Amino acid sequence: MRCSVCGRRDAVIYQRHTGRALCRECFIEDIVRRVKQEIERHEMFGERDRVLLALSGGKDSYTLLDVMLRIHDPSRLGIVTIIEGIPGYNREGDIEWVIRRAREHGIDIVVTSYKEEVGYSMEELVNLTIEKGVRVTPCTFCGFLRRRIINKYAREGGYDRVATAHNLDDEAHTALMNLLRGDYARLAQMHPRAPVLSKLFVKKVKPLRKVYEWESAAYAWLTGYGFQETECPYLRLRPSFRARVRAYMYELEREVPGSMLRFLEAIDRLAEPLARAVAKLPELPRCEICGEPTSYNRRVCAFCDLMAKIGAEEYFRRLGTKIPATRT
């Protein structure tokens, strides 16, 4: 079958949501064009902006780096990669290509770990929660730590933006979850136009947010990603609500191709006034212990609170303090 766009080369990809069959070149061009369009539509960053890419080493991060190298000045890019410290999930291969590609293009890169940053590897954190009988999933720690560490390097490195490799599927699922929970604050906050609520936060952008997960995977393979992606062993402990929302949206997408894309586009439009209203909110207070921004009603941030509950002495020692009493 010939490519629906150029009509010259053999098609290698069938894009269900557009009904087109595309050759390798036209598919790559289509993805790059759509990412660029999304960046421009929401003014995610300008050509002079320094962008820190948060890369896990997986397929989506391969795609993000490849697209960014085609559309942004490499001397204005940086990379941060974080090692969680989970047994059987060291992701050496994933991290190796990130370091190699960074060197090839002369991009500044930081490789760090939970252990280096807070004194505990993921395995040690999980062991503490079991010891203390605290009921949190490992994903909770990743949620806190990834954000915190990435933001720290962006702020200290003087970057204008942080770019993550979240794809359309991630965004559509999160949007539907927020909608079903009636969490309009989160819905507003995840909009690409939402401003940050603290001077200490570097604005996050998601250039791949209109690219389907399967497209991002296909793009990675077609541009040289040849690695076996390791799956996080804690994945099965992930909250089940997300898993169900995921399964439901895939079912809809199968029946009505393009529905996930149109859903996110509708949310973008409807949530835009909410996102702009975020700018009127006051600056977030800072945690009395770690100094990072925290919610309006808190003096100690949720992360310090959790670390106190699990008795993470080393974390507090590094901050020059003792474990505070926790709220129950």
Three-state SS annotation for 131-198: HHCCCCCHHHHHHHHHHHHHHHHHHHCCCCEEEECCCHHHHHHHHHHHHHHCCHHHHHHCCCCCCCCC
Asked if residue 319 lies in contact with residue 287, where contact means CB atoms within 8 angstroms, the answer is no
What track of x and - describes contact with Zn ion for positions 269 through 288 (by CB under 5 A)? ------------------x-
Reported in sequence order, the residue ranges of 165-290 that DSSP labels E, i.e. its strands, are 204-205
Q: Which CB atom, from 175 or from 301, has the smaller least distance to Zn ion?
A: 301
For the bound state, the minimum distance from the C-beta of residue 75 to Zn ion, rounded and expressed in Å, comes to 32
According to CB under 5 A, which one of 98, 190, 289, 310 is a site residue for Zn ion?
A: 289
Q: Which stretch binds Zn ion (CB under 5 A): 4-12, 119-127, 155-163, 200-208?
A: 4-12
Sign of the four-CA dihedral 35, 36, 39, 40: negative
CA 202, CA 159: separation in Å to the nearest integer?
7
Q: Which CB atom, from 148 or from 238, has the smaller least distance to Zn ion?
A: 148
For the bound state, the minimum distance from the C-beta of residue 9 to Zn ion, rounded and expressed in Å, comes to 5
Q: Which CB atom, from 23 or from 150, has the smaller least distance to Zn ion?
A: 23
13 binds Zn ion (CB under 5 A): no
Q: Which stretch binds Zn ion (CB under 5 A): 167-175, 212-220, 289-297, 320-328?
A: 289-297
Q: Which CB atom, from 21 or from 162, has the smaller least distance to Zn ion?
A: 21
According to CB under 5 A, which one of 154, 260, 267, 290 is a site residue for Zn ion?
A: 290
Q: Which residues contact 66 (CB under 8 A, 6 or more apart)?
A: 219, 220, 223
Q: Which CB atom, from 15 or from 81, has the smaller least distance to Zn ion?
A: 15
Per the listing, tokens 């020692």 go with 317
Residues 186-215 interacting with Zn ion (rule: CB under 5 A): none
Q: Which CB atom, from 4 or from 259, has the smaller least distance to Zn ion?
A: 4
Q: Which CB atom, from 9 or from 246, has the smaller least distance to Zn ion?
A: 9
According to CB under 5 A, which one of 44, 220, 301, 306 is a site residue for Zn ion?
A: 301
Sign of the four-CA dihedral 147, 150, 155, 160: negative
Q: Of 30, 32, 12, nearest to 22 (Cα)?
A: 12
Per the listing, tokens 């006034």 go with 273
Residues 19-48 interacting with Zn ion (rule: CB under 5 A): 23, 26
According to CB under 5 A, which one of 190, 260, 304, 308 is a site residue for Zn ion?
A: 304
Return the biggest CA–CA distance within the chain: 69
CA 91, CA 86: separation in Å to the nearest integer?
9
What track of x and - describes contact with Zn ion for positions 238 through 267 (by CB under 5 A)? ------------------------------
CA 163, CA 95: separation in Å to the nearest integer?
17
Asked if residue 9 lies in contact with residue 24, where contact means CB atoms within 8 angstroms, the answer is yes
Q: Which CB atom, from 76 or from 148, has the smaller least distance to Zn ion?
A: 148
Q: Which CB atom, from 97 or from 219, has the smaller least distance to Zn ion?
A: 219
CA 133, CA 121: separation in Å to the nearest integer?
18
For the bound state, the minimum distance from the C-beta of residue 284 to Zn ion, rounded and expressed in Å, comes to 12
- Residue 198: CB atoms within 10 Å: 14
Kindly determine how many residues on this chain lie close enough to bind Zn ion according to the rule CB under 5 A: 11
For the bound state, the minimum distance from the C-beta of residue 237 to Zn ion, rounded and expressed in Å, comes to 24
Instruction: Point out which residues bind Zn ion (CB under 5 A).
Output: 3, 5-6, 9, 23, 26, 287, 289-290, 301, 304
